[in-house]
Amino acid sequence: MAALLLMQVRGRVTAAELAAELEVSVATARRDLEALSSAGVPVYPQPGRGGGWRLVGRARTDLSGLTSSEARALFLLLGPVAGMSVQVRGAVRKLVRALPEPFREDAWVAVDAVVVDGAAWGGVVRGRPGVVGRLEEAVVGRRRVRLVYAGRGGGSERVVEPWGLVDKGGVWYLVAGTAVGRRVFRVDRVVSAEVVEGVFERPGGFDLASVWGEVVEGVEVRRSVCSAVVEVEERFAGVLADQFGRHCVVVGSVGGGRVRVRVGASTPLMVAQVLAGWGGLVEVDAGLSDGVAVRVELGRLGRELVARYGS
C-alpha cells in the first residue's frame, strides 16, 4: 500500500528511492514491486535513464481519496495501537511517509496525540494473551484451529472455525463456528491453539460487530434477572452507576436531594453484596421488584459481619 501511494503521489519511483523511503533493502523493494505487478496491479518498470516503476494509466489505490481531515482521523485511530509491536509501528511509519507531503506533519502529530490506558484506577492492565497473534492469523487465513480449552466444566479439545476476535475491556474472546453451532471462547482460557489442515468459509453475511452485539445483549440479560429499587442521595447515583454499569437507572426523584435508582445483577445475593458496602447510605424498597429478597440477603450479610466483627 505504501509503495502504491508513493507512485500515485510521485508518478514514478525507483527501487532505491522506495527502499530509502520505507527503510527496507533495495532487494526487498524490488521484490515487492515485482510481486505487485505479478498480482495484476498495473505497475510496470521502465528501464534506462529516467526510468523506474510507474502506476500505469489512471489506476488509483483505495486510500487515494483521503482528505486532510480524513488522514488525521485515520492516524488518530492508528496511534494507540502503533506501539503494540515493531511491525505495527513500522507499518504506520511507512503509511505516513507515503501520504502527500502536506498531510504528513498532521498525521505524525495524530499518531502520538492519543494514549489509551487500559487499566481502571487502582487496577492493572490485562496483558494481551500470547495466543491472540496465532488466532488472528487463523481468522484472516480462514484456517481451522484445534483448541485445548480450560472451561468451567474442565478441559476439552475441539476443532473450531475462528470467525473473529473481540477485545472487551482487556478480555479477549474468540467467536467461532463449531460442530454444534456458534460458540464464544475466552482466549485467556485457551491452553493451546494449533492450526490444522484445510480452510473454511465464514457464513454468508457474517458481521462480527452484529454477532458480538447479540452475544453482549444475551449476557447482559442474564446478568440482570434480579433487580431492586434503592433510595440514595442524588450525588451518589454516579457511584452506583460505576458499580452496576448498564444495570443502574435513575427512575425518579423523592425530593430532598434524594433519588430512586433501579439496580440489577444475576441474583439477590450479588445485588446485596454490592449494596452492603454502602451501609446506611442506601435503602432498598421492599415493595418493588426483588426488593424483599435483596433485603433478606442484606440482613444475612449484616448478621454475619456483626457476628465476626461486632466486638
Among 88, 26, 36, which residue's Cα sits nearest to residue 18? Answer: 26
Look-up of cell digits 454490592: 274
Please calculate the CA angle 272-168-273 and round it to the nearest 5 degrees. Answer: 10
Among 171, 203, 205, 197, which residue's Cα sits nearest to residue 185? Answer: 171
CATH topology of domain 2-55: Arc Repressor Mutant, subunit A (1.10.10)
Yes or no: domain 132-220 corresponds to CATH 1.20.120.350: no
Report d(CA 137, CA 30) in Å as an integer. Answer: 26
Please calculate the CA angle 122-128-130 and round it to the nearest 5 degrees. Answer: 145
Among 15, 65, 9, which residue's Cα sits nearest to residue 35? Answer: 15
- Under 8 Å between Cβ of 166 and 212: yes
SS3 of 185, please?
A: strand
Full-model pTM: 0.64
pLDDT at 210: 92
Yes or no: domain 224-309 corresponds to CATH 3.30.70: yes
pLDDT at 65: 58
**Grid cell locating 82:** 502503533
pLDDT at 62: 47
Residues of the chain with pLDDT under 70: 57-66, 83-84, 100-102
pLDDT at 208: 92
The residues spanned by each domain of the chain are 2-55, 68-111, 132-220, 224-309
- Under 8 Å between Cβ of 237 and 266: no
DSSP annotation of 202? P
